[in-house]
Structure 1
């Protein structure tokens, strides 16, 4: 595959946004978040891209490296991207579970410069949900990566990455997201976790409306 904060909400951060399931993104943006923009959410120029960069459908996931629901569904998500071959996937870091989530996001984004983004992300998404900074470091080290090198690379491109993380948080707020995971499939928000069947249906629906 090619790689091109808001405070935690009490009790419900991992449960997603049930009330918004399936709502049309453009309609929601017009009615509730005039400052948000569909293109800005899906095509941030600083955002690493997985899957097919020219895919006909874009899937975006707002996620956190400590979110158990994000992790449970990650293998299915990546398998569907691989099997479909025409999906453009963006993983929008939204580190709402605390400091370990922030450092995890920073280290993985630091891997973009050395083409280690996908490997670092896969390693952390395969861990149990809750992490300490030591857990993040040991997981990446076990995957053959140097956490300090990754963090140094992040620091050298801090303006880019800090800007992107800030935009992700602003977009999540503008969309009314209340937790992770939250998926956007083209112009439709899907609240909470999605299994592979639900993901396929959402993708098919997006293609049917093109």
Structure 2
């Protein structure tokens, strides 16, 4: 087992909704270092950014490509981000549901069209096999072997990102996917579109 895989597993296991509800991000971060720690969670320089990179609110989702609740809510998430137009979205890969989840994260991070590769896998149902990944990404216009080769060429960067995501999830006390940070508030479990819109509005008022 690699050090990265141990770090991923240390971040949490299983699928479900934690009992945290909506809580302040700073509650789980050391008071004296909370600004620096929040910067690390929300503004990791290696993290791909969706939505509006200059948005006035950041939404972060800890997700897994095999999490059915993540997939069920993904269309609403993307629709609300597009409709708002001023939200910076980051999808924090937290592959806790097995080796296929890790492989999916690697393939998508290796894509030059990250958003398209991610959308293709998020549109799949439930659990996946390696063949499912290859077939789905191939149908979306990607060469799966090329994706893995690209990931491998920048492995230190991407392995580091996935490992840090796991550390962030552990530091926040997350128990499963999905989990969101909207502004500086953590929401454990799924958010429907109305709840997400409300959370974004609350974050704007608090800014």
TM-score strictly above 0.5? yes
- Give the structure 2 partner of residue 16 of structure 1: 17
Question: Is the Cα contact below 8 Å between 1:42 and 1:60 reproduced in 2?
Answer: yes
- Give the structure 1 partner of residue 42 of structure 2: 42
- Give the structure 1 partner of residue 135 of structure 2: 138
Question: Is the Cα contact below 8 Å between 2:28 and 2:171 reproduced in 1?
Answer: no
Structure 2: segments with no counterpart, 5+ residues = 1-7
Report Cα offsets for 1:180-206 as digits up to 9, x if no partner: 000000110001000000000100000
For 1:24-173, list aligned pairs within 5 A: 24-30=24-30, 37-111=37-111, 114=112, 116-173=113-170
Structure 1: segments with no counterpart, 5+ residues = none
In structure 2, what is the Cα distance between the partners aligned to 1:55 and 1:142? 32
- Give the structure 1 partner of residue 4 of structure 2: none
In structure 2, what is the Cα distance between the partners aligned to 1:69 and 1:94? 14
Question: Is the Cα contact below 8 Å between 2:15 and 2:97 reproduced in 1?
Answer: no
RMSD, matched Cα: 1.5
Q: TM-score, structure 2 length as denominator?
A: 0.92
Question: Is the Cα contact below 8 Å between 2:23 and 2:187 reproduced in 1?
Answer: yes
Report Cα offsets for 1:59-91 as digits up to 9, x if no partner: 000000000000000000000110000000000
Q: Does 1:187 align with 2:184?
A: yes
